[in-house]
């Protein structure tokens, strides 16, 4: 008998094992839901799959009685727009500042401590300031995501840039590279895959800030909807919305990973 650390599941086994926890969770949900509904058909906490399906149909495929909108799609569009704007602004700012901090000692000495300090401010604590300063509109929500995510990306990329072997930087200079050329031909191209990694890791917090901002002041959005229907204990809405948010986050993560693999083939050889 080989040691446990040397035993690996086969291909089929891997798939079965990865399904197992999900199946168990689903089974547990169905069991509890059934038991509660048998006792009290009006129970709202663990709605039956049929109720959930009906709600999904109503939200995704039927016009809302009051507004005439397809709520799920309105909410998804609003949230994704805010999230992608926040993430792209953070990525671009993160790349520009991270490179400057990582490569130029004078810039590092000037703004690295500031960025370190800013990154320690809890973003939700400045949300009231944002609401006061820029109002309750889209700008406040996007800014919250940027404030929460950008400093982390800046610090991560600055560290990654400094981690490049000094030999490379010196070699480039002996090949005649100016500071600018060093940045655009040597450091920047090697930072793209790392930026994607940083964005993948930031996805979770970006969603967190988005939903927090939407919960407090919004008129549409996935986070807004969840917090709106919470008042009616509408678990049949909340559960599919949470699942939908998770799926969106998963797809974004997967797309970023795919982009990294397809675009930066060299990074796979390290």
User: Which spans of this chain sit near another protein (rule: CB under 8 A)?
Assistant: 165, 167-168, 170-178, 180-181, 184-186, 189-190, 264-267, 269-270
Q: For residues 22 and 180, which CB has a smaller minimum distance to another protein in the complex? A: 180
Question: Shortest gap between Cβ of 261 and another protein (angstroms)?
Answer: 14
Whole-number Å distance between alpha carbons of 79 and 222: 6
180 C-beta neighbours (distance < 10 Å), count: 8
Question: Shortest gap between Cβ of 257 and another protein (angstroms)?
Answer: 18
Whole-number Å distance between alpha carbons of 216 and 193: 35
On whether the CB atoms of residues 179 and 104 are closer than 8 A, the answer is yes
Question: Shortest gap between Cβ of 175 and another protein (angstroms)?
Answer: 4
**Max CA distance (Å), the chain:** 79
On whether the CB atoms of residues 197 and 243 are closer than 8 A, the answer is no
Question: Shortest gap between Cβ of 178 and another protein (angstroms)?
Answer: 7
Q: For residues 100 and 146, which CB has a smaller minimum distance to another protein in the complex? A: 100
Give every CB contact of residue 151 below 8 A, 6+ residues apart in sequence: 115, 118, 119
User: What are the start-end ranges of the H helices in the chain?
Assistant: 11-39, 49-61, 71-103, 105-120, 127-134, 138-163, 166-174, 179-181, 188-216, 222-229, 235-263
Question: Shortest gap between Cβ of 45 and another protein (angstroms)?
Answer: 53
Read off the tokens for 18.
Answer: 């990865």
Question: Shortest gap between Cβ of 124 and another protein (angstroms)?
Answer: 38
- Secondary structure (3-state) at 1: coil
Q: For residues 5 and 265, which CB has a smaller minimum distance to another protein in the complex? A: 265
Q: For residues 68 and 176, which CB has a smaller minimum distance to another protein in the complex? A: 176
Q: For residues 13 and 189, which CB has a smaller minimum distance to another protein in the complex? A: 189
Q: For residues 3 and 270, which CB has a smaller minimum distance to another protein in the complex? A: 270
């Amino acid at each position: 008998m080989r040691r446990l650390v040397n035993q690996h599941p086969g291909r089929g086994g891997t798939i079965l094992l990865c399904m197992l926890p999900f199946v168990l969770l689903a089974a547990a949900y169905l069991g509890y839901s059934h038991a509660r509904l048998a006792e009290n058909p009006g129970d709202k906490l663990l709605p039956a799959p049929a109720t959930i399906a009906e709600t999904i149909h109503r939200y995704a495929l039927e016009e809302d009685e009051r507004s005439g909108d397809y709520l799920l799609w309105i909410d998804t569009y609003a949230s994704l727009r805010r999230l992608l704007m926040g993430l792209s602004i953070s990525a671009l700012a993160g790349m520009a500042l991270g490179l400057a901090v990582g490569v130029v000692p004078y810039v590092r000495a000037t703004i690295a401590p500031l960025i370190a300090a800013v990154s320690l401010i809890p973003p939700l604590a400045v949300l009231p300031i944002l609401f006061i300063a820029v109002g309750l509109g889209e700008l406040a929500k996007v800014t919250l995501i940027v404030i929460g995510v950008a400093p982390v990306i800046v610090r991560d990329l600055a560290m990654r840039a400094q981690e490049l072997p000094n030999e490379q930087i010196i070699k480039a200079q002996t090949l005649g590279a100016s500071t600018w050329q060093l940045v655009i031909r040597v450091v920047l191209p090697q930072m793209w895959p790392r930026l994607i990694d940083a964005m993948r890791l930031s996805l979770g917090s970006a969603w967190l800030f988005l939903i927090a901002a939407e919960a407090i002041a919004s008129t549409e959005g996935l986070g807004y909807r969840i917090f709106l229907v919470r008042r009616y204990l509408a678990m049949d809405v909340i559960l599919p919305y949470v699942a939908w948010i998770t799926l969106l986050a998963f797809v974004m993560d997967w797309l970023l990973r795919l982009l990294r693999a397809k675009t930066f083939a060299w990074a796979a050889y390290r």
